[in-house]
Amino acid sequence: MPAPIEMEVEDLDRIRKSGGDPLVLDVREPHEVAICAIPDSLHVPMGSVPRRVGELPTDRDIVVVCHHGGRSAQVTMWLRSQGFDRASNLSGGVDAWARRIDPNMKVY
């Protein structure tokens, strides 16, 4: 069953807390991930996604995240065009996660 194109941070938090196990795919650059990251996320910079797409599961929900949601939206659409119908964009990115879910996370 296809996942929604966009997911709010509260939805991801609820899914993870209830035992769901979506892959959180962080497509930011290494210097951004060094500042903050959602725990247990897989870091694959946006430009590396096409050559590393084989590492991504086709049988699991994938939530794509960047700083504010722009780059991750592009990656989500590309993944969907490649048959990953369980890929969703995290609306607002790590910035929204830090502001609405994890107030101890650094923002930039």
Catalytic entry in 66, 75, 96, 98: 66
Residue 66 is among the residues annotated as catalytic for this protein? yes
CA distance 40 to 55: 16
CA distance 86 to 95: 23
Closest by Cα among 8, 6, 24, 5 to 96: 8
Q: Computed from CA positions of residues 35, 36, 42, 44, in that sequence, does the dihedral angle turn out positive or negative?
A: negative
> What amino acid positions are annotated as catalytic residues?
66
